[in-house]
Amino acid sequence: MPDANIAAAETLDAVIIGAGFSGMYQLLCLRDRLGLKVQVLEAGDGVGGTWYWNRYPGARCDSESHSYNYTFSKELFEAWEWSERYPQQPEIMRYLNHVADRFDLRRNIRFGTRVVAARRDEAANLWEVSTAGGETLRARYLITAVGCLSTANVPRIAGLESFAGAWYHTGQWPHAGVDFSGKRVGVVGTGSTGIQAIPVIAETAAELTVFQRTANYSVPAHNAPLTPEFKAWVKGNHAEIRQVTRSTPNGHAFVIANRSVWDVSAEEREALYEAAWDKGGLQFRATFRDLLVDKQANNTAAEFLKRKIRGIVQDPKTAELLADIDHPYAAKRPPIDDNYFATFNRPNVRLVDVRSAPIERITPTGIVTAAGDYPLDIIVFATGFDAMTGPLLALGIEGRDGLPLAEAWAAGPRNYLGLQVAGFPNLFTVTGPGSPSVLCNMPVPIEQHVEWITDCIAHMRAKGLARVEPTEAAMDGWVAEVNAAAAATLLPEAGHSWYLGANVPGKPRVFMPYAGGMARYRETCEAVVAKGYVGFAMT
Ligand code: NA7
């Protein structure tokens, strides 16, 4: 087996960038199943990827724990026991460290190593990968496993550098934690992250001011410790859980009800929503099959959820601001929460509307909006990420003839199956744009992508092929397919969502993930292979 410290001069079979869920499994597949010489480069000082960086208060996965894990190994699945319905960040880190230990992955991962460039040596058919430390590694295959939500989006607000207090982005949280006690804290952002962090910060901060630009739906998570009976059921049902997560559109362990909103009476619908609210979690969206395709159907869920907000939040003005939601339910990533709306009933919490009165600047003492001054000691930016393309473009990848990926994607991402880009031979992107990734319970697409890439590389080696890249025509076809899949849903109706890149100023507005469902995507990928890797040029 190769050592971790591979000499720079040595040519590798593959370099993998990132040691989160994707990179770890990709390493295992290429090293242990194909016997390749592989090096993983990871910017962080430990495994975990997105979870390594997102340590903000309340950080927790929205997928239910029994489905948020690898399923490739029954032994691994049965050896691990989650403690709660939704795993908290530290528990996910324990899981991923357990996986790293169990499969002896660390010896091929170089931590604290940030990739700053990756160029083609076309004559040698190799990728030259440069690190911030000045090293260059050469490899036949380059696989990005950098996650979709790993490039923090810190808004460019005038005066931020002058702020005399401390500020943090939730995706770059200090490992030592932040003490909010006695502090006046401002949270900017009410996406999934803000909605998780706000109730926890409110418990210790002296005052919490929430700056809301776009009001958001949220359904209670109803997190709780798992019972011994449920844990036993999980251990005994690896095959069934795997089968369900692989056959549902979003890779979750629940099935979308096969009924339309219009199949039931208004009373029955209310009762079904009430039951789904009581059950909690992302499965609220699975109450009816047409919530994401029929605007009128969606309205019934939206109205139910807005009524819930008005029922929970005592101050009528605050309730109205929170319920003034401008997009269909689940057209943006639907958050789930632990006491989010009730937090606004606390005397130390207030809501500030920065849609009608936007943030104008930050001063040494706080945030100034068009409506007034808000003195703060700490600002927390829960402002999301330059999603999907951001982490890839940050790698400085240049394809054939020195074409930067940023240039190839100037008008938005173009690739085939979310996995490969023409002009960038032997580059694979795990959970790239055009893959179902972020619309799913992530480990499910990750396992599928990684296994597909592994099989493709095995096929190449078996056939003595050296280069693989998609044809332009295949890319055009896939881009059209991604657009059509999105257009068949209500997802593009949330004009400000990060799915569209709309949260980052200047970013092309293109619906990035594939919305046709994980099961259909898997079938498409399998059909491509069955037809002799149709759409790929292999030479
Ligand atoms: P999101 O979902 O992108 O949410 C970011 C929030 O920050 C959202 O409410 C934004 O409002 C707000 N935001 C962003 N920039 C600004 C500025 N400049 N001023 C005021 N408010 C701003 O990120 P999350 O981290 O919550 O969630 C990301 C994903 O992680 C989530 O979807 C899950 O998949 C896990 P906006 O809506 O743009 O008006």
Buried b (16+ CB within 10 A) or exposed e, 347-379: eebebbbbeeeebeebbebbbbbeeeebebbbb
Domain end residue (candidates: 352, 381, 410): 381
Domain end residue (candidates: 381, 410, 429): 381
* Residue 478, pLDDT above cutoff 80: yes
Cβ partners under 8 Å of residue 226, min gap 6: 65, 82, 83, 84, 85, 234
Take atom 6 of ligand 1 and give the residue whose Cα is closest. 189
User: Given the CA of residue 155, which atom of ligand 1 is nearest to it?
Assistant: 18
Domain end residue (candidates: 357, 381, 405): 381
**Do residues 365 and 401 share a domain?**
no
**Do residues 426 and 358 share a domain?**
no
**Do residues 422 and 523 share a domain?**
yes
Q: Range of 145's domain?
A: 4-47+105-151+387-538
* pLDDT tens string 344-388: 999 999 999 999 999 999 999 999 999 999 999 999 999 999 999
Ligand 1 pocket test, candidate residues 60, 172, 193, most atoms within 8 A of CB:
193
User: What is the enclosing helix (H) or strand (E) of 184?
Assistant: strand 184-188
Query: What single-letter DSSP state applies at residue 30?
Result: I
The predicted model gives 297-326 an average pLDDT of 98
**Do residues 393 and 514 share a domain?**
yes
Task: List beta partners, residue 277.
Answer: none
**Do residues 483 and 399 share a domain?**
yes
pLDDT band at 9 (very low <50, low <70, confident <90, very high): low
Q: How far apart are CA 147 and CA 392, in angstroms?
A: 9
What pLDDT, on the 0 to 100 scale, is given for residue 459? 98
**Do residues 258 and 373 share a domain?**
yes
Q: How far apart are CA 125 and CA 467, in angstroms?
A: 8
Whether 169 lines ligand 1, by a CB cut-off of 6 Å, is: no
**Do residues 347 and 399 share a domain?**
no
**In this structure, is residue 55 part of a structural domain?**
no
207-212 and 349-353 beta bridge pairing: parallel
Q: How far apart are CA 245 and CA 259, in angstroms?
A: 20
* Residue 449, pLDDT above cutoff 90: yes
**Do residues 220 and 237 share a domain?**
yes
The predicted model gives 245-265 an average pLDDT of 96
* pLDDT tens string 84-125: 999 999 999 999 999 999 999 999 999 999 999 999 999 999
* Residue 2, pLDDT above cutoff 50: no
**Do residues 267 and 349 share a domain?**
yes
Q: If you measure from the C-alpha of residue 150 to the centroid of ligand 1, how many angstroms do you get, rounded to a whole number?
A: 13
* pLDDT tens string 201-228: 999 999 999 999 999 999 999 999 999 9
**Do residues 142 and 258 share a domain?**
no
Q: How many structural domains is the chain composed of?
A: 2
**In this structure, is residue 248 part of a structural domain?**
yes
Domain of 428: which CATH number? Answer: 3.50.50.60
**In this structure, is residue 93 part of a structural domain?**
no
The predicted model gives 41-54 an average pLDDT of 98
**In this structure, is residue 76 part of a structural domain?**
no
> In the chain, what percentage of residues exceed pLDDT 90?
98
Buried b (16+ CB within 10 A) or exposed e, 33-56: eeebbbbbbbbbebbbbbbbbbbb
Q: If you measure from the C-alpha of residue 188 to the centroid of ligand 1, how many angstroms do you get, rounded to a whole number?
A: 8
What pLDDT, on the 0 to 100 scale, is given for residue 237? 98
The predicted model gives 415-440 an average pLDDT of 98
**Do residues 441 and 468 share a domain?**
yes
Q: Are 443 and 491 in contact (CB under 8 A)?
A: no
What pLDDT, on the 0 to 100 scale, is given for residue 8? 54
* Residue 7, pLDDT above cutoff 80: no
**In this structure, is residue 57 part of a structural domain?**
no
Whether 209 lines ligand 1, by a CB cut-off of 6 Å, is: no
Q: Which two tokens stand for residue 338?
A: 């632990």
* Residue 4, pLDDT above cutoff 50: no
* Residue 194, pLDDT above cutoff 60: yes
**In this structure, is residue 60 part of a structural domain?**
no
Q: If you measure from the C-alpha of residue 267 to the centroid of ligand 1, how many angstroms do you get, rounded to a whole number?
A: 35
Q: If you measure from the C-alpha of residue 273 to the centroid of ligand 1, how many angstroms do you get, rounded to a whole number?
A: 26
**Do residues 391 and 367 share a domain?**
no
**In this structure, is residue 65 part of a structural domain?**
no
Q: If you measure from the C-alpha of residue 384 to the centroid of ligand 1, how many angstroms do you get, rounded to a whole number?
A: 4
